[in-house]
Amino acid sequence: LYTDLGLLTCRPELGRDIVNLFHFLTGYAPAQRYEQTLVAPVYMRDRFEALIDAEIAHQRETGNGRIIAKMNGLDDKRMVKKLYEASQAGVQIDLIIRGHCTLRPGLPGYSDNIRVISILGRFLEHDRI
């Protein structure tokens, strides 16, 4: 297991999540529900889909739905379809993507509310929190 992230926290629920995650990764315990952590692939997709649905509902109620997301790549068919659905509902979406992206932004009536920014070349770097 490799990571380049260190995190210090005083939040016990986050600490429990990370301990339980490492127990799962090392085979000492089965996957479980986490209080504060989204773990891929176990629960992350469902949570992201729920957040997109909430933003669609917010758009319908207030007219100012907005999604800004940064990721390494986007090629998950279900997630792309869900983002298209949000765009068609009027949600403004900005995606900042380091690598591969199968979503096609700016298609009239389909993805015209989606903007994709690709970070490549000499501006590509690892994020800092």
Distance CA 116, CA 103 (A): 9
Better-scored residue on pLDDT, 30 or 119: 30
> Is residue 39, in this structure, part of any structural domain at all?
no
Q: What is the pLDDT of residues 63-117, one digit of tens each?
A: 999 999 999 899 999 999 999 999 999 999 999 998 889 999 999 999 999 999 9
> Is residue 124, in this structure, part of any structural domain at all?
yes
Range of the domain at 103: 64-128
How many domains does the structure of the chain reveal? Answer: 1
Of 101, 6, 113, which Cα lies nearest the Cα of 63? 113
State the pTM of this model: 0.79
- What pLDDT was estimated at residue 32? 83
Average pLDDT over residues 28-54: 88
Of 69, 125, 71, 67, which Cα lies nearest the Cα of 99? 71
Our CA angle for 29, 44, 92, nearest 5°, is 170
